[in-house]
Amino acid sequence: MKRVLLVDDDVELSSMLTEYLEREGMVVTAVHDGLAGVEACRVGGFDIAVLDVMMPGIDGVEVLRRIRAFSRLPVLMLTARGDEVDCVVGLELGADDYVAKPCTPRELAARLRAILRRTASDGPADVLAVGPLTMWPQERRAQWCNATLELTSTEYSLLELLVRNAGRPVSKAELSEQVLGRPLARYDRSIDVHMSSIRHKLATGDDSRAWIQTIRGLGYQFVKI
C-alpha cells in the first residue's frame, strides 16, 4: 500500500480526498499547513506528496522548495485552474506533475498512480549507456560524466525514454502519454519545462554539447554516438 502525504489547508476537501484515496488502496496522512508538510516529509516514510499551492503562511511552492533541499520524494502540485505561472514554477523547482483545481478525486488518484508506476523499481535490470550518461533503471540511478546525476522521478523517466530511443525523435505526445500518463493538452508546457531542467543538469558536466536536441515538428531526441 502506497503512503500519500496530503498537504492542503482545506480540511473538508482533504477529508473527501483522503476517504477516496484510501478506498483506492492508499494510506493517506493529511496535514493542513506548509510547515507541518515539510516536517512530515523530513520524518519520511511516504511514497509521494500532494501539495496545494494556495495555502496561508508558507505556500505550496515554498514547501516544495524546502522539501527539495533534502528529499527527492515525488511531488504532485494542486494549482489554481489556468494559473500557468504556478505550474511552471512548481515544475522548475522539481515537482513531478500538477493537477488544476477543482479536480475530481478520481483524476487525482489516476495522476498519483501514474507517478507511482514510473517510480517503481520493478523494470528490467539493464544498464543504459550513451556518451557520458549511464543509467540503472531498476535502481532509478544515473551518472553523468561519472558523477551522480540528481533527477526528479519525472525527469528520470523522460530521460530514460529518450535514451532508449537514442538517435530518433520522441514526440511530446508520446512523452506525455508514457511518462506523465496523460494525453498532451494544448498549451501544456510540462514536458518543455522538464526538458529544460534536464538539459541544465547535463550542461554541468565536462561535455557541454547539446545531448538533447529539439527536432522541430517532431519532438526531442537524445544524440546517439
**Model confidence pLDDT, tens digit, residues 110-166:** 999 999 988 775 555 689 999 899 999 888 899 999 899 999 999 999 999 999 999
DSSP designation for 8 = -
Task: Specify the CATH number of the domain 128-222.
Answer: 1.10.10.10
Q: What's the pLDDT at 209?
A: 66
Nearest-angstrom CA–CA distance, 86 and 64: 12
Q: Which of 124, 99, 7 is nearest to 58 (CA)?
A: 7
Tell me the pLDDT tens digit for each residue of 3-62. 999 999 999 999 999 999 999 999 999 999 999 999 999 999 999 999 999 998 899 999
Beta-strand ranges (E) seen in 108-187 are 128-130, 133-136, 141-144, 147-148
Grid coordinates of 192 = 518543455
Nearest to 156 by CA among 179, 183, 190, 178: 179
* Distance of alpha carbon 200 from the chain centroid: 16
Domain spans of the chain, in order of start: 3-119, 128-222
β-pair type (75-80, 133-136): unpaired
**Structure confidence at residue 1 (pLDDT):** 85
Q: What is the pLDDT of residues 77-121, one digit of tens each?
A: 998 866 778 788 889 999 999 998 888 999 999 999 999 988 775
Got the DSSP string for 109-131? HHHHHHHHHHH---S----EEET
CATH H-level, domain 3-119: superfamily: Response regulator (3.40.50.2300)
Amino acid (1-letter code) at residue 166: A
β-bridge pairing 128-130 and 133-136: antiparallel
CB atoms within 10 A of CB 9: 17
